[in-house]
Amino acid sequence: STLGASAAEKGGRYFGAAIAAGRLGDSTYVNILNREFNSVTAENEMKWSSTEPQRGSFNYTSANRIVNHALGQGMKIRGHTLLWHGQQPGWAQGLSGSDLRNAAINHVTQVATYFRGKIHSWDVVNEAFADGGSGGRRDSNLQRTGNDWIEAAFRAARAADPGAKLCYNDYNTDGINAKSTGIYNMVRDFKSRGVPIDCVGFQSHLGGSISGDYQANLQRFADLGVDVQITELDVAQGSNQANIYAAVTRACLAVSRCNGITVWGIRDSDSWRTGENPLLFDSSGNKKAAYTSTLNAL
């Protein structure tokens, strides 16, 4: 079997990969992608700096290479990401206050409208919470426009693409801790006030261990009435890599509202974590032990 086919047999889940438009001419890469995965995320091509490099001037050329490939293969598409403190175009980095707020909401509306009907799940907001023990928001230009910027983004995304699941996505949320609890409290508040939110993404950029309450953390979010997704999984190479991939996979399958898993790249040589060899295929495209343990867990 394959990762995607096995996940699909488990209640219609998906198994996806982050991909780069610039690698779609690499036949080894594309062969693995088409064989193993039934969902994709654009690794960079849907970020603000890519889609709106000048204010009000949108460019979807690279994103569309990924979208067209995915649609041609019948793959789901995760949209990543509408608003984030990272990879903003220079013009947005220079804005503040209501000018930035208006530009940000316009960006959400324009991009979500452009891709309407094609996106399975949008990461509407990425990485808005602080690391460490505060459980509060991260300081950013977006946060300084007012604490309601996240809900404003979700409302704009819902209006633009009512068929997409709308997710909040973050890292260091892979267990019950102050950061994940801060997000949990935001989601609970959104649900109680009718702010549209459908899912929470757990990036899961992992090192040599997995939190003992990884599954319990997914479950507590699911119990709020949102789906959960593993959105950017990669695990540092080491003696435990295969076991950690399997444990994440089993945790997702054990939570009925866990829709799917996305790994953040295909081969180790495609990874943003240079030198960590954190993916399921080696640099030649061969299946690693982590691939086999993941497939066996599905």
Q: How many Cβ atoms sit within 10 Å of the Cβ of residue 58?
A: 14
Amino acid at the residue 104: A
Nearer to ligand XIL, 142 or 295 (CB): 142
Q: Is 231 helix (H, G, I), strand (E, B) or coil?
A: strand
Residue-wise DSSP of 77-125: EEEEEEEESSS--HHHHT--HHHHHHHHHHHHHHHHHHTTTT-SEEEEE
CA 182 vs CA 25, 135, 186, 209, 216: distances in Å: 42, 4, 6, 23, 16
Q: How far is the CB of 12 from ligand XIL (least distance, A)?
A: 25
Active-site residues: which are they? 232
Nearer to ligand XIL, 142 or 298 (CB): 142
Nearer to ligand XIL, 58 or 272 (CB): 272
- Distance, C-alpha 27 to centroid of its chain: 25
Residues 221-260 that bind ligand XIL (CB under 6 A): 232
Instruction: Pick the binder of ligand XIL from 50, 203, 229, 277 (CB under 6 A).
Output: 203
Fill in the per-residue mask, 15 to 54: x = in contact with ligand XIL (CB under 6 A), - = not in contact. ----------------------------xx----------
The alpha carbon dihedral of 186, 48, 108, 22 has a sign of: negative
Count residues near ligand XIL (CB under 6 A): 6
Fill in the per-residue mask, 61 to 90: x = in contact with ligand XIL (CB under 6 A), - = not in contact. ------------------------------
Nearer to ligand XIL, 172 or 293 (CB): 172
Amino acid at the residue 164: A
By beta carbon distance, the residue nearest ligand XIL is: 272
Q: How far is the CB of 10 from ligand XIL (least distance, A)?
A: 25
Nearest residue to 241 via CA among 282, 196, 187, 288: 288
Residues 268-287 that bind ligand XIL (CB under 6 A): 272
The answer to whether residue 126 forms part of the interface with ligand XIL (CB under 6 A) is: yes
Nearer to ligand XIL, 21 or 244 (CB): 21
The answer to whether residue 180 forms part of the interface with ligand XIL (CB under 6 A) is: no
Q: Is 40 helix (H, G, I), strand (E, B) or coil?
A: strand
Q: How far is the CB of 203 from ligand XIL (least distance, A)?
A: 6
Cβ-count burial of 236 within 10 angstroms (0-12 exposed, 13-18 middle, 19+ buried)?
middle
125 - beta bridge partners?
83, 168
The answer to whether residue 174 forms part of the interface with ligand XIL (CB under 6 A) is: no
Which residues sit at the interface with ligand XIL, rule CB under 6 A? 43-44, 126, 203, 232, 272
